[in-house]
């Protein structure tokens, strides 16, 4: 067996080990079955979505547009994952071990990238495969080449994400490692890129629903990268094949070369040469604790980038609403209701964005090897909890305040602004506490890099599901029982207050016990 194969097998064993859990190990087969079941579940979900799309647009002869939707969605997700994966680190827990073995550095890097590739492949498959298959099913003539080229895209597109993350990691390491505020900049740059990508996506997908068959090709041409992939799938010309190969091969090759150059190396960090040691005056322990939490959040790129989309989205949507007015929202929601009643929909959208902002649900897991320190401090557990709960409030609450103020301006009503702020801030506190409870319940204290905690841990998944359910329950009640928006708002506030009381009690009773029983 070649070294690369041995390392790939090792990465696979590690992946399965993660699924099997820390101490109570399931059999390998059970873990694989669970993984496959999860994949099938998501695949079914996206298949239904693509089926719905082809039912509408496919019958109008716009099947290619549906595939284009699949391509642009997959490309966006793949690029977002690539950006979110940037850690600015040159070492992993096993880098010393691997580098001491008689293996080429290139093989180590490729094996490391392979597990990332597999992760992205799963998303590419789930997001794009249903559209390719559905196109073939609904197309008047079956084309094997479109099917094959479609699947070639699925197989190779994730390499783009992996390549981009490697290149960005190199740039971030080289540029910021030795800067005074390097750790903050390492978080900020991927965040800014993410914002840029989201803005681009919004611009490029606007007017998507109004595409006519005649202008479809023009619409595609205006979106260069997605169009190149679409051309590769449908036209299969030499130029399109070479372009696709270039799009995929260039970033991944550069990424590997750059990573070989930095992997395992110490680049040094900013050193303050001032030898005048001046300790600050004594501060309350809680203040230190809170500052530590804030610093952890703003200096961990994966943590910040993966949780900042919600707050940015809240501000972006509220600005969009103020600019476009209530009419555009009514059009978008396909409802015709009084402007004041729209408030509840706005609050729901804000809450759904908060639902994806899982800051507290990873705050315990991120302590990892420093957990012993937290536990050994002469501090009440409640103080530790509160310091962790304050971070999401500091990050998200100002954005809900801005959004509420903008809604108030748009609707010329202070009362409605206060209502939005009340519902959203209540929901924020509620999900914040719930996230911490879930993380105490399902902590992940053994990890190699923060991305595994922030993106791939069970506590994040559970938090998102519970947050989503809590956000939509009131709407479901309103729809089922056909009650008025005002009454729905009152029920929502009542329900949230009740849940808030329950979760707070749960956190400071059972949560404290869970914390004491945690083993790092």
Partner 1 sequence: MLQIKNFTKIYSNGKVAVDNISLEVESGDIFAFIGPNGAGKTTTIKSVVGINDFNNGQIIIDGIDIIKSPVDCKKVIAYIPDNPDIYETLTGVQYLELVADIFRINKEERNSLVKEYATKLGLEKDLNSPISTYSHGMKQKLVLISAFIHHPKLIVMDEPFVGLDPKASFTVKEIMKQFVKNGGAIFFSTHVLEVAEKLCNKVAIINKGKIIAAGSMEEVKKDKSLEKVFLESVANE
Q: Are 314 and 403 in contact (CB under 8 A)?
A: yes
Helices (H) and strands (E) in the chain, counts: 21, 0
We find the least distance from the C-beta atom of residue 517 to partner 1, in angstroms, to be: 16
- Residue 122: name the closest of 197, 245, 13, 40 by CA: 40
- Residue 320: name the closest of 197, 202, 472, 208 by CA: 202
Separation between Cα atoms, residue 345 and residue 493, nearest integer Å: 14
Q: Are 73 and 82 in contact (CB under 8 A)?
A: no
We find the least distance from the C-beta atom of residue 354 to partner 1, in angstroms, to be: 32
154-193 residues near partner 1, rule: CB under 8 A: 178
| Contacting residues for 179 by C-beta, under 8 A, at least 6 apart | 185, 270
Question: If binding is defined by CB under 8 A, does position 3 make contact with partner 1?
Answer: yes
| Contacting residues for 506 by C-beta, under 8 A, at least 6 apart | 437
We find the least distance from the C-beta atom of residue 275 to partner 1, in angstroms, to be: 14
Query: Crossing angle for the helix pair 342-355 and 414-441, nearest 10 degrees?
Result: 30
What would the two tokens of residue 170 be?
A: 């190199």
Question: If binding is defined by CB under 8 A, does position 103 make contact with partner 1?
Answer: yes
Site string (7-26) toward partner 1, x via CB under 8 A: --xx--xx-xxx-x-xx-x-
Separation between Cα atoms, residue 128 and residue 230, nearest integer Å: 12
Closer CB to partner 1, residue 99 or residue 352?
Answer: 99
255-284 residues near partner 1, rule: CB under 8 A: 264-269, 271
Closer CB to partner 1, residue 16 or residue 147?
Answer: 16
Closer CB to partner 1, residue 14 or residue 333?
Answer: 14
Exactly one of 37, 52, 104, 481 binds partner 1 (CB under 8 A); which one?
A: 104
Question: If binding is defined by CB under 8 A, does position 372 make contact with partner 1?
Answer: no
Exactly one of 55, 94, 217, 218 binds partner 1 (CB under 8 A); which one?
A: 94
We find the least distance from the C-beta atom of residue 167 to partner 1, in angstroms, to be: 21
Residue 262 CA, distance from chain mean position: 26
Closer CB to partner 1, residue 178 or residue 221?
Answer: 178
Exactly one of 102, 140, 209, 378 binds partner 1 (CB under 8 A); which one?
A: 102
What would the two tokens of residue 442 be?
A: 């399902």
Question: If binding is defined by CB under 8 A, does position 93 make contact with partner 1?
Answer: yes
The HSE-up count of residue 336 (CA atoms within 13 Å, CB side) is: 0
Whole-angstrom CA distances from 313 to 44, 73, 176, 321, 459 are 28, 18, 27, 12, 23
Q: How many residues bind partner 1 (CB under 8 A)?
A: 34
Stretch that binds partner 1, among 92-100, 219-227, 355-363, 456-464 (CB under 8 A): 92-100
Question: If binding is defined by CB under 8 A, does position 144 make contact with partner 1?
Answer: no
Question: If binding is defined by CB under 8 A, does position 96 make contact with partner 1?
Answer: yes
Question: If binding is defined by CB under 8 A, does position 1 make contact with partner 1?
Answer: yes
Binding site for partner 1 (CB under 8 A): 1, 3, 6, 9-10, 13-14, 16-18, 20, 22-23, 25, 93-97, 99-104, 178, 264-269, 271, 446
């Amino acid at each position: 067996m070649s070294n690369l194969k041995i390392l790939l097998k090792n990465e696979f064993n590690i992946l399965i080990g993660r699924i099997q859990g820390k101490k109570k190990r399931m059999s390998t087969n059970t873990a694989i079955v669970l993984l496959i079941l999860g994949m099938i579940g998501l695949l079914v979900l996206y298949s239904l979505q693509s089926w719905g799309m082809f039912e509408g647009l496919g019958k109008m002869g716009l099947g290619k547009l549906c595939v284009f939707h699949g391509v642009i969605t997959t490309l966006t997700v793949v690029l977002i994952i690539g950006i979110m994966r940037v850690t600015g680190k040159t070492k992993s827990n096993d880098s010393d071990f691997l580098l001491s073995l008689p293996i080429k550095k290139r093989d180590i890097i490729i094996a490391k990238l392979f597990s990332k590739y597999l992760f992205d492949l799963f998303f590419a498959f789930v997001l794009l495969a249903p559209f390719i298959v559905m196109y073939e099913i609904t197309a008047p003539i079956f084309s094997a080449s479109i099917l094959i080229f479609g699947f070639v895209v699925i197989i190779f597109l994730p390499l783009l994400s992996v390549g981009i993350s490697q290149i960005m990691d190199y740039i971030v390491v080289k540029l910021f490692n030795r800067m005074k505020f390097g750790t903050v900049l390492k978080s900020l740059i991927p965040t800014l890129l993410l914002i840029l990508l989201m803005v681009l996506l919004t611009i490029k997908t606007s007017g998507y629903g109004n595409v006519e068959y005649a202008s479809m090709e023009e619409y595609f041409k205006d979106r260069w990268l997605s169009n190149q992939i679409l051309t590769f799938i449908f036209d299969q010309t030499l130029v399109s094949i070479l372009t696709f190969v270039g799009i995929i091969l260039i970033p991944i090759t550069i990424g590997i070369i750059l990573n070989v150059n930095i992997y395992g190396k110490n680049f040094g960090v900013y050193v303050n040469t001032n030898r005048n040691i001046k300790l600050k005056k004594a501060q309350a322990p809680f203040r230190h604790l809170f500052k530590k939490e804030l610093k952890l959040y703003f200096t961990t790129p994966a943590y910040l980038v993966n949780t900042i989309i919600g707050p940015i989205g809240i501000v972006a949507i509220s600005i969009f609403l103020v600019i476009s007015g209530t009419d555009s929202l009514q059009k978008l929601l396909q409802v015709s209701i009084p402007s004041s009643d729209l408030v509840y929909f706005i609050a729901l959208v804000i809450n759904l964005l908060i639902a994806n902002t899982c800051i507290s649900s990873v705050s315990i897991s991120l302590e990892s090897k420093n957990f012993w320190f937290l536990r050994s401090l002469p501090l009440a557990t409640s103080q530790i909890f509160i310091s962790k709960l304050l971070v999401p409030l500091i990050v998200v609450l100002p954005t809900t305040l801005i959004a509420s103020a903008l809604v108030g301006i748009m609707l010329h009503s202070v009362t409605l602004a206060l209502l939005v702020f009340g519902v959203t801030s209540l929901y924020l506190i509620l999900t914040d506490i719930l996230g911490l409870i879930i993380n105490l319940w399902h902590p992940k204290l053994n990890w190699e890099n923060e991305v595994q905690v922030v993106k791939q841990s069970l506590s994040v998944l559970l938090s998102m599901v519970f947050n989503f359910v809590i956000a939509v329950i009131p709407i479901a009640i309103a729809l089922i029982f056909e009650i008025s928006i005002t009454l729905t708002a009152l029920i929502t506030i009542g329900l949230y207050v009740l849940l808030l009381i329950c979760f707070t009690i749960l956190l400071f009773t059972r949560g404290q016990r869970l914390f004491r029983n945690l083993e790092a």
